[in-house]
């Protein structure tokens, strides 16, 4: 059998649990904002790296074409 708890004690317990949940929610909300910011930064960095990779590929392909042309002309 469950011991009887008075309503004020029960309310105080619920209030304490609610305070803990609110604190956890605030922490998670701050962490979520931080993670979204990091994700945005990483997405931008990835786009820059893809752009640089494409540029490098284009330059290498152009060099290879020039080398092949030089080879054929000699």
7 pLDDT higher than 90: no
Q: What is the pLDDT of residues 31-41, one digit of tens each?
A: 999 999 999 99
The alpha carbons of the chain give a radius of gyration, in whole angstroms, of 31
3-state per-residue secondary structure call for 8-19: HHHHHHHHHHHH
Q: What is the pLDDT of residues 54-63, one digit of tens each?
A: 999 999 999 9
Residue in this structure with the two tokens 């619920």, named with its chain if needed: 14
Q: Does the predicted TM-score (pTM) go above 0.85?
A: no
């Amino acid at each position: 059998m469950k011991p009887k708890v008075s309503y004020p004690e029960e309310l105080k317990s619920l209030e304490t649990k609610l305070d803990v949940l609110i604190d956890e929610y605030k922490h998670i909300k701050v962490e979520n904002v931080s993670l979204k910011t990091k994700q945005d930064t990483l997405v931008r960095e990835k786009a820059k790296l893809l752009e640089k990779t494409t540029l490098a590929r284009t330059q290498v392909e152009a060099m290879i074409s020039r080398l092949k042309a030089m080879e054929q002309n000699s």
